[in-house]
Chain A
């Protein structure tokens, strides 16, 4: 392979890597956002949601009875949420976060952070 061809190939490879990197970070910047989980009739309206690292989840209680949002590993814990109260948590690490309502522990759901 000629030297100029080698240089060209290296150049293309570098460009490709750079493009990929910037594309990936651009995607990460756009994707990290917020999601909402609605609570109504003793249910979290999404049994499982998947969000990118760095996203926030806001729980809003639309039920006529108070609920709480408590992670099984005690990582996050809302105060008592009356009707229309909200609780927000930002997920900074990947993982599966199971949570429940401490008033009505049969209410369970999870957040998957990727």
Chain B
């Protein structure tokens, strides 16, 4: 299926050489123009020139770039989950923390893209924030639908909603990068997808108004802001409005969770990325068993859970995202 030319490129990349690296940021722009990655089984699959190729994740990890800003995205810890897909979410969360602590370049902070808890219970929130203290890093959160279950999100907001508006949206700056936490899991309508709502969209438009177009932007929200698989609710009704406000910026990275597998898409100036869960995997879109927790043999569990390391180097066009499993 793949031409010898593509095989040659593959071998180059696995050896650490990136062809067509005009930006010198470790990303082959020509080959990665439209790139979609699935990593439900611990491999990174990339569509290159219409052909699906897979890379073992440890090889990708070697392409990490040391930059000016480094942070980690974790997601879907589902503290309190205890079904067969993972009877020990505390244990796998600890493994994720151990991976963070062992990173060659330490992150400045941690982004949690939601479903912190499984049932919005106080002790579940507290366990996660307590455990995260081991990293000695600040943590920034956005809620998942599991975090706003019983009290209109009061439990989440009381803990993590300081300086936020509405259901918990906010923004902050780090080393010239503008971060925006959005909430798309409240006031969902029957039959619909995730929803940002007009109040949040108005706030977003205003928040971006005075930023220089060269400012790198990172948007993080729980449910994907692109239509991963609407049949399973994997998308956001009104994300097109949000993306239209972001169009003028040169480098936008959108970090999401919710789907418990890594997936990546590049569309113009926007790189979309979803992270693995630290609790349990879910099937690939359209799989016959539906979107629920996916059981794998116990010894394989940590190969389908993961964290994402993000690096930004000033002057470079885009942020470098590196997914790694907990195995």
Contacts and interface: CB of A to CB of B under 8 A. Distances in A.
B149 A105 contact: no
Interface stretch (B160-168, B241-249, B287-295): B287-295
B146 A72 contact: no
Provide the main secondary structure of the chain B interface: loop
B172 interface: no
Nearest to A80: B149
A42 B231 CA distance: 12
Contacts of A98: 190
Contacts of A106: 191-193, 231-233
Given A41-B292, A66-B118, A66-B119, A105 B146 contact: no
Interface in A42-70: 42, 63-66, 68
Contacts of B316: none
A41 B190 contact: no
A42 B149 contact: no
A72 B25 CA distance: 49
A106 B190 CA distance: 6
Contacts of A66: 118-119, 146, 149
Interface residues of A, number: 21
Contacts of B233: 104-106
Contacts of A63: 292
Given A64-B292, A64-B293, A80 B193 contact: no
A6 to B, nearest CB: 60
Contacts of B189: 105
Interface string A67-80: 01000100000011
A42 B291 contact: yes
B190 A72 contact: yes
Interface string B290-307: 111100000000000000
Nearest to B188: A105
Given A64-B85, A79-B150, A83-B83, A100 B293 contact: no
Contacts of B323: none
B120 interface: yes
A104 B192 CA distance: 9
Contacts of B120: 80
Contact of A102 (B118, B188, B292, B293): B188
9 contacts: A42-B290, A66-B118, A68-B149, A99-B190, A105-B188, A105-B190, A105-B193, A106-B233, A108-B191
